[in-house]
Structure 1
Amino acid sequence: MVAAFSEAFTPKPLADEPGEALPELSGLADLDDDEVERCRKEAPERLMLGDTSLITVAVDSMGREAAEQLYEPELVRRALQLASGARSSLMTVGSR
C-alpha cells in the first residue's frame, strides 16, 4: 500500500519534447485584425467583472505603451490599478 501511494505521488519527469511555445509579440503589428477587435471588445466586459488578466498579460508581454494602443490608456490604467489593489491588504471588497 505504501509503495502504491509513493508511486502515485512521486514527481514524474517532464516530457522531452516541450509544448508549443507562445509567439513573441513586439506590438500590435504582430496581431491579427480579428484578434485585436475581439480583445478590444472583450477587455472592458471582463474588467467590469473584475478580471484584469487580458490587459495585464498585454502589458507584461508587449509593454504598457503597446497595451495602451491596443486598449485605451484609461482602461489600462484602471486594470493595473485594480490588479495592484487586489494584492493590497488595505482593499476590501463587499457590500454593506
Structure 2
Amino acid sequence: MTIGRMLPALVLSALLMPGLISSTALAESQGEVTTREDGERIVREYRLEGQLYAIEVIDKGQRTVLLDTDGKGNFRRQPADTEIKAPSWTGKSAQ
C-alpha cells in the first residue's frame, strides 16, 4: 500500500482520536450519562455505579443543574454555570 492510499485513513484517524479520548475521560470521571430529548428540552442524567447524582435540564436555552450532594437522593438546584462532576460521596470526585 502506498503512502497516497494510506494518507486519508491516517488523517481520519487523527481527526477522530481526540473525540475518542475525551469521551473516555468523561466516562471515567462522570460514569454513565444518559441523554433524552423531547422537543426543545434535553435532559441528561449522570450516574456512577448505577447511582444518580446529577440531572441537567436544558429547556429553550436555559440550563438547570440539580445535584445530590450528600448521596441521600436530595437534589439541590445549582447555578446554571455549575460544572458537573462526581460529588465526594461517590468516592470518584475530582481531586
Higher relative contact order (CA 8 A, sep 6+): 1
TM-score higher than 0.5: no
Structure exhibiting the larger radius of gyration computed from Cα positions: 1
Which category describes the TM-score, using the shorter chain as reference length? Answer: under 0.3
TM-score by length of 1: 0.27
Write 1 or 2 for the structure with the bigger share of strand.
2
TM-score normalized by structure 2?
Answer: 0.28
Q: Compare the two structures and name the one with the higher helix fraction.
A: 1
